[in-house]
Amino acid sequence: MNQKIRLNKYISNSGVCSRREADKYIKAGLVSVNNKVIIEMGFKVNENDIVKFSGEKINIGKKIYVLLNKPKNYITTTKDPRNRKTVMELIKNASKTRIYPVGRLDRKTTGLLLFTNDGEVATRLTHPKYKIEKLYHVVLDKNLKKRDYEEILKGLNLEDGKAIVDEIEYANNKKNEIGIKIHIGKNRIVRRIFEKLNYNVIKLDRVMLAGFTKKNLQRGEWRYLNKKEIDFLQMMKK
């Protein structure tokens, strides 16, 4: 990087967040350049500047995209104050450049999780207006009644608004196994949908994310996205 670029773009290119979110963090005083807090919109930096976000140094590196099949009992966070296992341990050899999980899966949930240092892609994968589809395989403690099935399809009213479901089907010819497709990304949304109707979720597995599947990816394994998959993600930024 020989030319100066805007600070919000630098932060986005480091993978922390989108440019719009970066502006909010700058305004809140969470960003420093050369140990000086910067709140000026439009401030520019160069490759020799030391940029820190929340006290931690960030850098621009090659864009990395890693897909993980997350196992149970790992926390989706970069650090855990209680020293529990985090997903970062599973992909520690994937990149020397720091990458971040896109969205989150709770500790007991398994399945697909994407990591990247591309802040713009991360925003588009998580913001509901882009309607990125996620498919989950759910195992319940009892059979899902037909009337509850229909209630879920209509959209349940939860404490933080209506839970819109794109599709729902019984899976594997079993009434307690459900396939549910959604694009909303609210916290614990799938579990809360079923808990609202007095069902306990025994297993929850994300089997599809933005068209990516778990094909040839065993639990706990990760892989780099191929060029075609990266091109697909890059198109989302336009």
Same domain (yes/no): 188, 73: no
Same domain (yes/no): 184, 70: no
For the ranges 71-75, 92-96, 133-137, which has the lowest average pLDDT? Answer: 92-96
Q: How many domains does the chain have?
A: 3
Question: Minimal CA–CA distance to 72: which of 85, 56, 89?
Answer: 85
Same domain (yes/no): 70, 52: no
* 67, pLDDT greater than 90: yes
Question: Minimal CA–CA distance to 189: which of 110, 106, 86?
Answer: 106
Q: Which residue has the higher pLDDT, 100 or 69?
A: 69
pLDDT band, residue 2 (cuts 50/70/90) = low
**Token pair recorded at residue 164:** 């819109």
Residue-range definition of the domain harbouring residue 11: 5-57
Same domain (yes/no): 140, 203: yes
- Let me know if residue 157 belongs to a domain: yes
pLDDT band, residue 187 (cuts 50/70/90) = confident
pLDDT tens profile 132-175: 999 999 999 999 999 999 999 999 999 999 999 999 999 999 99
Catalytic residue among 80, 106, 166, 231: 106
Entry pTM: 0.81
Same domain (yes/no): 148, 191: yes
Same domain (yes/no): 19, 77: no
* 115, pLDDT greater than 90: yes
- Let me know if residue 127 belongs to a domain: no
The whole-angstrom separation of Cα 11 and Cα 118 is 10
Residue 238: per-residue pLDDT = 61
pLDDT band, residue 210 (cuts 50/70/90) = very high
Same domain (yes/no): 149, 178: yes
Residue in this structure with the two tokens 């864009």, named with its chain if needed: 63
Residue 162: per-residue pLDDT = 94
Residue 67, strand partner residues: 114, 223
Backbone angles phi, psi at 101, to 5 degrees: -70, 140
Could you confirm whether 141 is annotated as catalytic? no
Residue 85: per-residue pLDDT = 96
The whole-angstrom separation of Cα 183 and Cα 164 is 8
Same domain (yes/no): 204, 138: yes
Q: What is the DSSP string of the chain?
A: --S-EEHHHHHHHTTSS-HHHHHHHHHTT-EEETTEE---TT-EE-TTS-EEETTEE-------EEEEEEPTT-BSSS--TT---BGGGTTTTS-SS--EESS---TT-EEEEEEES-HHHHHHHH-GGG---EEEEEEESSPPPHHHHHHHHH-EEETTEEE--SEEEEETTEEEEEEEEE----TTHHHHHHHHTT--EEEEEEEEETTEE-TT--TT-EEE--HHHHHHHHHHT-
Q: For the domain that residue 15 is a member of, what is the CATH number?
A: 3.10.290.10
Same domain (yes/no): 142, 191: yes
Same domain (yes/no): 152, 205: yes
